[in-house]
Every structure is written in C-alpha cells, then in structure tokens.
C-alpha cells in the first residue's frame, strides 16, 4: 500500500481569493446544511435509505481506519457490526436503559472485543489476518443462533425492537428524529476520526502500514498501535451496527453473514482506501447498487460486487476518492500552468 | 467406544475432503503466497458441471473425468486471465480480487443452475459398508478416491519432469527461468491442478450435503484450518492437517459443542493455530527479510 | 567464423536507473572473456541483459549470428546459454540430483543420463552428495552445483557471475582449474564476471574493463593484465 498518497497539499494556493482550506470548510458546511434539510424534502422511504447510508459510512470509516490507514485486513467487520447491533437490541429488550445510552455501550463492547481480537491478530499479517477474520465473519451467525445464548439473542428468531420517539416538543416524525440522531453520531465520529488520523497517531498508523519495521525502529510501539486500531475500528463499526439496529427495528443472525463483511470490503475499496470522504461514496454504492441489481436477478448483486472488486483493483486501486483526488490534482496543475 | 470409533472414522471421511481442499490451497500458496479464497467456489462450479453431464445421461465416471478436465482448464484460465496481473500487487488488492472471484463464481453457479438444492449421485452403493456399523459405502469410497487422487498428485510432483519443474518454479522462479522452465505456465498449471483437486473434493462432498451454490463455504474454511494446522507451505502437512481437522470437527460436534457450532470450531482452530504456532505443525517458520 | 556472442551498443536499465551505456563486446567460439570492474560498474547487469532478466535493454545481442535481444529468458536458455547466476541460484529444498535434472529440463535427447556421469566426472564431490538436499551443501559445493546445473544444458556459452565469491582460495583454484578443463574439452565459450581480477585474467584470453556502465578498455588478457592503471586499480600490486 506504499503508493497511497495521504499527504495534504499546502493550503497556500488561492482560488477566487480564498484558500483551499477555506473552500473545503465552506464545502463541508454546505454538505451539512444540505444533510439537515434533506429529511424535510424526501419521502420517508428515501429517508430510510439515506439514514442507512450514513450508518454504513460510519461502519466503513471503522474498517477504513483499520485497513486503509493501518494496513490490517478484515474480512470480518460484519461481525463487529453484528455485536453492536445485538448489544443495543439486547439492552433495549432486557433492560430499561434508554435507547441513546445503548449506543456508547455498544461502542465500548466492540472496542473491547476488537481489542481482544486484535491481540492475536497482531502476530498475523496480510493473508493470514484476512483468513482469521474471514473465519470470524463465518462463525458469527452461528454463534448468534447458538441455543445456549437463546435467552439473550432470541436465537434464529432474533429480537424485535421499537423505534425511539423524538424528544417531547420537537415537531418532527420518528424517522426524521432517527435520521438526525444518526447524523449526530456520524458527525461526532468523523470529527473524532479526523482528529485521530491527522496528527501523531495518524502518522504512526500510516508508518506502520507502509514500513512496519522502520516504524518499530523509530520507536513506534507497533503492537500497541495495531491492537488499539483494531479496537477503535471495531468500535466505529459496532456503533454503526447499533444505529443500524435502531433503524431496522430488528436484529437476526442471518442479516449479519459473511456477505455483510464482504459488502464493507467492497465499500471501502470502491470509496477509496485511506480516505475519510470516500466512505460516503462507498456507503452509497453498497446501499443502492445492489438494490438496483437485485431487480435483474438473485445472482446479480453478488456478481456485481465481485466484478466491481476485481475491476476496481485493475483500474482504480485508490477508489472513487482517489479518482476525484487525481482529477483535482490535474485541474490544479492545469490552472497553475495554463493550458498546454 | 463404538460410537467414538464411528465418529473418528467418519471424521476421516470428511477429513479426506478437507485434505484435498487444503492441498489445493497449499499448491497455490507455495508458488505465489496467495491464499485462494475462491477455491471452494471453483470446486462447487465444477461439481455443477458434473451434475449437468450426469443429468444429460453420461455415465458417472465419464462425467467425473470430464469434470476434472474442465476444472483443470478453468483453473488455468483463471490464473492466466484474472490473477496474473496481480503478482506484484499489494496483499490487499490480491485478497480483494480473490473475494471478487468468490462472489462472481458463486453467483455464476446460482445464475446458471439456480439456487435450489439438488441431489448429487454417489458412485458407491448407499448401504453400509459390508454391514459395518462404522462407515457407509460412500464414506469408504470417498476416503479411497481422495487417497488415490492425493497419491497421484504426489507421484506427479515426485517423479515427473513437469512436477519437478513446478516445484522448482515455486521455490526459485529466477533460477527456474535460467534453466529454461516457463515459470508463468507452471503457476497456471498449479492453478489447474488445484482446480482439479478441488473438483474431486466437490464431487465427493455433494452426495452428503446436497448440491447448492454455498456447498463448499464451510468446507473451504475447514480446508483452511487443515492447511494452517499442517503448515501452509507443506503439502504433506496440509493433507495430514485436513484429516486431523476432520476428526477433531466430528469429535467436537459429538462430544463438546454439538453440530450447531461446527463452523465456530473451525474459527477456534484457525485462530488457535495462528496464535500458538503460526507455522503449523510441519511448516517452516516464516522469517521476514528486512 | 563469426563470434559466438556479440553485444552491439547494448544499454540496460533497472526502471529509470540506467546502468549500462552502449556496450560493445564479443565472445569468440570457444573463447573465454572476462568482464572486470568495480562494484556497481554493471558486470552482473551485462549478464542479466544477455538473458533478458530483470532489466530493460536496448541495443543488439547476437548469439550464433541470431538476434536474441527481446527473446524470453526461457527461449534464450534453450538456444544454449547456460547462466550461473550470482548467489548461485541453488534450489535449496531439492536434492543435488534434482538440481542437475532441472539443468537438463529443456533437453529432449537421450544422452542426459551420460551427462550426469560427465558432470560428476568434473565434480566427484557432487556424486557423493547426489541424494543430499542442495541447501545443506557448503558454499563451494553449491558453486560447483551451479556450474554443473548449467553444464547439464550442454551449453555453447556459459555466463559465470563471480564463481569465486565468498569461497576459500583453494576452492576457487579448484573451480577455475575445472572451468579451464571444461573449456578445453568441450569448447564451451565463457563470459566470466569477476572481482578477483588475477585469477580471471589467468583463465580468460580476452578481457573487458567496465566503469560506470561503459567499456573503458579491452584487449587480450595479457595486455590488460600488464597495464599499469589496471594493475594498480584491480590487481593490487
């Protein structure tokens, strides 16, 4: 992964009198405003899809922190998504904890779970780690169905939960509230991720990805960083799972199979490895494209995922984000040098 | 005691399947250090081809042999067309491509032969083996066929010039080219053989679990476990590992966790080996060069 | 009679890094040519370029009056170019005999069995160890094995990349004595890359001196060996 360029260009160039940095902030603000208006202009079905997209984006960010930035594989992040979802569902089902409190709980549990799984995974590299996590994704539905856990998980039946009501006094529908609730978490987690990745920690993660030995000789505690990253990554995906459970109002073992994990992989590959913005492209892709393909035949979504994975590796290994970045660079060179 | 013996013996029958899949995985791993996640799907697809031929009225063993030819050609073609450009790519790209292959072949199976579960014939009688309480005739046949295939594969590598060249290409591609071995084709041959061995595993599995596009999913996982247990760079070890995993799985299913958590057993084996002895029982310790 | 091997204006590069700059060189039928020069001068690269291995080349390479530049390594080998690579290229997990059998991999004639005896004749030690795993051989034995493996091809030309590297002086002398015998008995042409200029000049009849990718001097070994500057820079006296 040594070819990925994560360095940021200096914010010196001006466009129309404003620095690139200012433009980026303006753009982000515009997107946020649009995201806040969105639920009032689209149908509730579309809103459901939009909410799912931002939930997936959080899950993908989690996986991308691990794979894109730190170079560790996971073909099993669907398992952490499942653990997050079940944590929320079980807490809502068995205890009186308010729904909003279950989200950090799910995050904490996944943080610990991810950290624990990350400990043995520390010693694994490349294909081996892919294998171990592949097995994890495989085993998850079976564990959730296991009869001795029935009292908690509801076995094959799963658990039905009710959607949270909007806070009293807010004149919006429940689905709109849930959207804002998810949006809030998304913004929080992206800010946290941005903070984490831009500084010392981010540089350490990338160093470990590109040159593990050099990183170790420079005094970076690679073991601690790697297991920490696994934990944080699982936490993100787990929180996404928890939000996803609220959204679906239902959890069952078979919705968290191997293909969910593969979906996440497709998402970060399409969106772009080591890209925070890219995960939204990825989330949109994995939410909408299979739905469209589904109308063709039962086999089509999978074939499409597979084809896209292979094709992406052929033509755009840095994903949509890389494509955009590439075009941006070319534009900049063009504007700087004038047309050839 | 009798029950235990029964579990062990039928574990060996399953183990033969896992051993075959493990051997197929090792064959590709040795030459390219790729773990072929699509191995199981290639086997399933080949088994569908066999099913189609048998349904068209071909005698079982004719269909069996033709399927082996098909599986071999498919393996060679996949290597030449899809895998080749990625030999110098980072591991993540390679894994992504293999997962892509897994999905594409799986959906091909589903699209062409649909998703309904199909019975697949066994070439062996259905009754117990000479009235034995321990094994069915199919299980005995399964072990026999597996062993024959494994023996043929080993003989090929041990005694033929082509087998020698393949071993050489896997060990030292540069030197191999200097003695005139066409290394690229050796890799493709390796894929062909892996496809062929997988197809045997598929055709032996299908009569037990019935034929459907997801048939080899868990078999692949046990194959992985077997290969890792034996040491993924050691063909003999992988075969032995496959048999051991087969027996372990049966015993765990019967006495420990019940059949519901079978796949979890594979997970535990895989993670356990990777953590305790990543090189496997018979593998070389991996030393990374700085 | 034309030369066995002829390089005309051969340049070679690893990626963007140019290593050889327009080299001319010839090996006569049955002749021994040595290529001398400091580390990084491009000696090994020249051999790799001839076999079209790991480098990008331009220019002309003729073998027995046939253009071979651009051919695949495997095809060049089939024409009778035996390459004894740097680091010996032993197949460490295979037995000595299997290593030799690989040397004859491209041959379809029936004299391979005799050639085992011929090669064992030069290196009796390999015969004693023919069932042993090649990786367990000593450095000198592995060098002998590498030469033998190339001989199993029945080559017309041997490319030898520092056969003396890392070996004790006595072993080096033995190996060079045998190389001389092979040359005399079988008329195999040799292109020898060496750091050990003394022993190389003794064996070779022609010598080329490479400096940073260019041939700076060439001529009969005796002449090159008595050149004042060569003596000072490469022979150390």
Tokens of C39: 């580390």
**pLDDT value at position B21?**
95
> In this structure, are strands C206-211 and C56-63 parallel, antiparallel, or unpaired?
unpaired
- Residue B289 forms contact with C (CB below 8 Å): no
Is residue A10's pLDDT more than 70?
no
Of chain B, the percentage scoring pLDDT greater than 90 comes to 54
Residue B125 scores a pLDDT above 60: yes
CA dihedral of residues A272, B93, A232, A281 (deg, nearest 10)? 20
Q: Which helix (H) or strand (E) holds B201?
A: helix B183-209
Query: What are the phi and psi torsion angles at C83 (to 5°)?
Result: -110, 120
Q: Is B25 on the interface with C (CB under 8 A)?
A: no
- For residue B127, pLDDT over 80 is answered with no
Tell whether A224 lies on the interface with B, counting CB pairs under 8 A: no
Chain C positions contacting chain B at CB under 8 Å are: 51, 53-54, 73-74, 77-78, 83, 85, 89-94, 98, 101-103, 105-106, 149, 153
pLDDT of A146 above 90: no
B167, B168, B181: residue with CB nearest C74? B181
Q: In chain C, what are the domains? A: 5-91+149-235 (3.40.50.300)
For residues A229-249, average pLDDT: 95
Mutate to test the interface with A, among B103, B263, B285, B287 (most CBs of A within 10 A): B103
Cβ contacts of A41 within 8 Å, gap of 6 or more: none
pLDDT of residue B286: 46
Q: Mean of the pLDDT values across residues C223-228?
A: 86
Confidence category of residue C203, pLDDT binned at 50, 70, 90: very high
Question: Which residue, among A119, A263, A297, A309, would best test binding to B if mutated, counting the most B CBs under 10 Å from its CB?
Answer: A309
CA–CA min distance A232, chain B (Å): 20
B287 in any annotated domain: no
What is the number of alpha carbons within 13 Å of residue B167 lying toward its C-beta?
Answer: 24
Is residue B119 one of the residues assigned to a domain?
yes
Per-residue pLDDT, A7: 46
Q: Which residues pair with C35 in a beta bridge?
A: C193, C208
Average pLDDT for C123-136: 93
**Is residue B17 a contact partner of residue B11, using CB atoms and an 8 Å limit?**
no
Strands (E), C150-221: 157-161, 189-193, 206-211, 214-220
Q: Are the beta carbons of B92 and A132 separated by less than 8 Å?
A: no
Contacts of C33 (CB under 8 A, 6+ apart): C25, C26, C27, C190, C191, C192, C204, C205, C206, C207, C208
Q: C66-67 and C56-63: which strand pairing?
A: antiparallel
Which one of C54, C93, C106 has the shortest CB-CB distance to B180? C106
**How far is residue B274's CA from residue A123's CA, in Å, rounded to a whole number?**
8
Cα dihedral A209, A214, A218, A224 sign: positive
Residue B279 lies inside a defined structural domain of this protein: no
Q: How far apart are CA C205 and CA C29, in angstroms?
A: 12
Of the candidates A66, A71, A75, the residue with the CA atom closest to the CA atom of residue A231:
A66
- Which of C132, C133, C128, C165 has the alpha carbon at shortest distance from C147? C165
CA separation for the pair B157, B153 (Å, rounded): 6
CB B75 within 8 A of CB B42: yes
What is the nearest CA distance from A197 to chain B, expressed in angstroms? 21
The reply to whether B210 falls in a domain is yes
| Residue C108 pLDDT grade (very low, low, confident, very high; cuts 50, 70, 90) | confident
Torsion of CA A265, A269, A273, A278, to 10 degrees: -100
Range of lowest pLDDT (A82-91, A95-104, A196-205, C21-30):
A196-205
What is the per-residue pLDDT for A320?
65
Residue B138 has pLDDT above 60, yes or no: yes
Quote the radius of gyration of chain A (alpha carbons, Å): 20
- The burial class, CB within 10 Å (0-12 / 13-18 / 19+), for A157 is exposed
Say how far apart CA A145 and CA C48 lie, in whole Å: 60
Residues in contact with B175: Cβ distance below 8 Å, sequence separation at least 6, in sequence order: B168, C85, C89, C90, C91
Q: What is the side-by-side strand order in the sheet with C189-193?
A: C81-84, C157-161, C189-193, C32-37, C206-211, C214-220
Task: State the CB neighbour count (10 A cutoff) for residue A20.
Answer: 17
- A–C contact: 3+ Cβ pairs < 8 A: no
| pLDDT for A91 | 93
Which among C54, C102, C106 is the nearest to B168, CB-wise?
A: C102
Band the pLDDT of A151: cuts 50, 70, 90. confident
pLDDT higher than 60, residue A339: no
User: ∠ at Cα A34 (A33, A37), nearest 5°?
Assistant: 90
Quick one: tokens of C193?
Answer: 């890359």
Predicted pLDDT at A6 = 45
Query: Three-state SS for A340?
Result: coil
Give the long-range contacts of residues A325-329, CB within 8 A, separation 24 or more: A325/A5, A325/A275
Q: What are phi and psi of C217, to 5 degrees?
A: -165, 140
Say if the Cβ atoms of C89 and B178 lie within 8 Å.
yes
Cα A252 from chain centroid?
21
Distance from CA of B251 to the nearest CA of A (A): 18
pLDDT, average across residues B228-251 = 89
Supply A32's token pair.
Answer: 């946020």
Does the pLDDT of residue C131 top 80, yes or no?
yes
Residue range B151-160, pLDDT digits in tens: 999 999 999 9
Task: State how far the Cα of A175 lies from the Cα of A165, in Å rounded to an integer.
Answer: 9
Nearest to C82 by CA among C185, C183, C3: C183
C188 pLDDT band (50/70/90 cuts)?
A: very high
Question: Percentage of residues in chain A with pLDDT exceeding 90?
Answer: 33
Selected for mutation to probe chain A from B87, B266, B267 (highest A CB count within 10 Å) is: B267
Tell me which residue range forms the domain holding B196. Answer: 19-217
- CA pair distance A177, C32, nearest whole angstrom: 86
| Nearest by CB: B177 against C53, C91, C93 | C53
Cβ separation B264–A139 shorter than 8 A: yes
Q: How far apart are the first and last CA of chain B?
A: 53
In this prediction, residue A69 has a pLDDT band, given cuts at 50, 70 and 90, of confident
d(CA C174, nearest CA chain B) in Å: 24
Cα B101 from Cα B99, distance rounded (Å): 5
Q: How far is B100 from chain A (nearest CA, A)?
A: 4
CA distance A71 to A64: 9
Close Cβ partners of C223 (under 8 Å, ≥ 6 residues apart) = none
What are the pLDDT digits (tens) for B20-36?
Answer: 999 999 999 888 888 89
Chain A closest-CA separation from residue B157 CA (Å): 26
Is residue B252 one of the residues assigned to a domain?
no
Token code pair at residue C138: 């000593």
Q: Are C120 and C144 in contact (CB under 8 A)?
A: no
Residue of A nearest to B107 (CA): A299
Q: Is the pLDDT of residue A26 over 70?
A: yes
Q: What subunits touch chain C, counting only 3 or more CB pairs under 8 A?
A: B
**In a 3-state reduction of DSSP, which class is residue C167?**
coil
Instruction: Kindly state whether residue B240 falls inside one of the protein's structural domains.
Output: no
Of A282, A331, A329, whose CA–CA distance to A7 is shortest?
A: A329
């Amino acid at each position: 992964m040594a070819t990925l360029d994560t360095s940021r260009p200096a914010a010196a160039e001006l466009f129309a009198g404003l620095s690139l940095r200012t433009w980026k902030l303006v753009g982000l603000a515009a997107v946020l405003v649009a995201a806040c208006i969105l639920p009032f202009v689209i149908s509730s079905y579309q809103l459901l899809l939009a909410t799912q997209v931002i939930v997936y984006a959080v899950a993908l960010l989690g996986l991308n922190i691990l794979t894109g930035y730190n170079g560790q594989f996971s073909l099993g992040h669907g398992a952490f998504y499942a653990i997050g979802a079940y944590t929320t569902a079980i807490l809502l089902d068995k205890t009186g904890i308010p729904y909003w409190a279950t989200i950090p709980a799910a995050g904490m549990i996944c943080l610990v779970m991810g950290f624990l799984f990350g400990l043995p995974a520390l010693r694994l590299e490349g294909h081996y780690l892919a294998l171990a996590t592949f097995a994890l994704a495989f085993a998850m539905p079976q564990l959730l169905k296991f009869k001795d856990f029935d009292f908690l998980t509801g076995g094959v039946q799963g658990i039905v939960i009710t959607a949270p009501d909007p806070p009293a006094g807010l004149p919006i529908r429940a689905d709109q509230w849930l959207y804002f609730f998810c949006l809030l978490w998304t913004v929080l987690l992206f800010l946290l991720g941005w903070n984490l990745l831009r500084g010392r920690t981010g540089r350490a993660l990338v160093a470990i990805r590109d040159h593990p030995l050099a990183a170790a000789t420079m005094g970076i505690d690679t073991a601690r960083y790697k297991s920490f990253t696994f934990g944080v990554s699982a936490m993100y995906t787990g929180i996404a799972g928890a939000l996803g459970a609220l959204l679906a109002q239902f959890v069952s073992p078979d919705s968290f199979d191997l293909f969910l994990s593969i979906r996440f992989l497709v998402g970060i590959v399409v969106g772009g490895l080591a890209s925070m913005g890219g995960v939204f492209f990825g989330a949109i892709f994995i939410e909408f494209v299979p739905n469209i393909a589904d109308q063709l035949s039962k086999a089509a979504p999978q074939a499409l995922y597979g084809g896209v994975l292979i094709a992406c590796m052929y033509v755009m290994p840095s994903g949509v984000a890389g494509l955009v970045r590439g075009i941006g660079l070319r534009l900049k060179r063009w504007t700087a040098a004038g047309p050839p | 005691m009798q029950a235990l013996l029964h579990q062990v013996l039928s574990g060996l029958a399953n183990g033969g399947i896992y051993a075959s899949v493990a051997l197929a995985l090792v064959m590709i791993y040795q030459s390219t250090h790729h773990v072929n996640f699509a191995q199981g799907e290639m086997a399933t697809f080949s088994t569908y081809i066999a099913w189609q031929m048998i349904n068209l009225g071909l005698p079982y063993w004719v269909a069996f042999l033709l399927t082996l030819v098909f599986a071999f050609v498919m393996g060679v073609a996949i290597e030449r067309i899809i895998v080749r450009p990625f030999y110098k790519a980072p591991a993540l790209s390679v894994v992504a491509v293999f997962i892509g292959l897994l999905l594409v072949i799986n959906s091909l199976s589903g699209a062409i032969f649909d998703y309904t579960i199909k019975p697949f014939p066994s070439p062996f009688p259905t009754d117990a083996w000479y009235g034995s309480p321990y094994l069915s005739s199919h299980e005995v046949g399964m072990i026999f066929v597996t062993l024959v295939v494994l023996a043929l594969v080993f003989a090929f590598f041990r005694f033929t010039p082509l087998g020698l060249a393949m071993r050489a290409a896997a060990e030292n591609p540069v030197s191999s080219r200097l003695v005139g071995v066409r290394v690229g084709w050796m890799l493709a041959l390796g894929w062909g053989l892996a496809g062929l061995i997988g197809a045997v595993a598929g055709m032996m599995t299908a009569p037990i679990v019935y034929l459907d596009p997801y048939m080899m999913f868990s078999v692949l996982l046990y194959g992985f476990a077997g290969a890792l247990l034996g040491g993924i760079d050691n063909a003999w070890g992988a075969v032995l590992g496959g048999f051991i995993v087969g027996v372990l799985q049966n015993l765990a299913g019967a006495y420990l966790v019940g059949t519901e958590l079978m796949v979890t057993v594979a997970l535990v084996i895989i993670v356990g080996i990777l953590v305790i002895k990543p090189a496997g029982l018979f593998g070389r310790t991996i030393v990374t060069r700085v | 009679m034309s030369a066995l091997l002829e390089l005309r204006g051969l340049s070679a590069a690893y990626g963007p890094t140019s290593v050889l700059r327009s080299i001319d060189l010839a090996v006569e039928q049955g002749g021994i040519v040595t290529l001398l020069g400091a580390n990084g001068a491009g000696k090994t690269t020249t051999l790799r370029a001839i076999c079209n291995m790991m480098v990008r080349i331009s220019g002309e390479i003729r073998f027995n009056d046939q253009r071979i530049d651009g051919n695949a390594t495997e095809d060049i080998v089939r024409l009778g170019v035996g390459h004894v690579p740097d680091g010996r290229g032993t197949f460490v997990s295979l037995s000595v005999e299997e290593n030799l059998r690989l040397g004859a991999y491209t041959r379809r004639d029936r004299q391979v069995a005799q050639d085992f005896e011929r090669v064992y004749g030069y290196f009796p030690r390999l015969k004693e160890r023919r069932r042993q795993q090649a990786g367990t051989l000593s450095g000198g034995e592995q060098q002998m094995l590498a030469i033998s493996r190339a001989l199993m091809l029945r080559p017309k030309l041997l490319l030898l990349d520092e056969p003396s590297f890392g070996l004790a002086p006595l072993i080096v002398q033995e190996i060079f004595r045998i190389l001389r015998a092979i040359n005399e008995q079988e008329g195999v042409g040799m292109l020898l890359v060496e750091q050990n200029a003394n022993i190389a000049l003794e064996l070779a009849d022609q010598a080329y001196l490479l400096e940073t990718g260019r041939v700076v001097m060439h001529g009969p070994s005796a002449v090159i060996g008595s050149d004042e500057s060569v003596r000072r820079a490469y022979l150390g006296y």
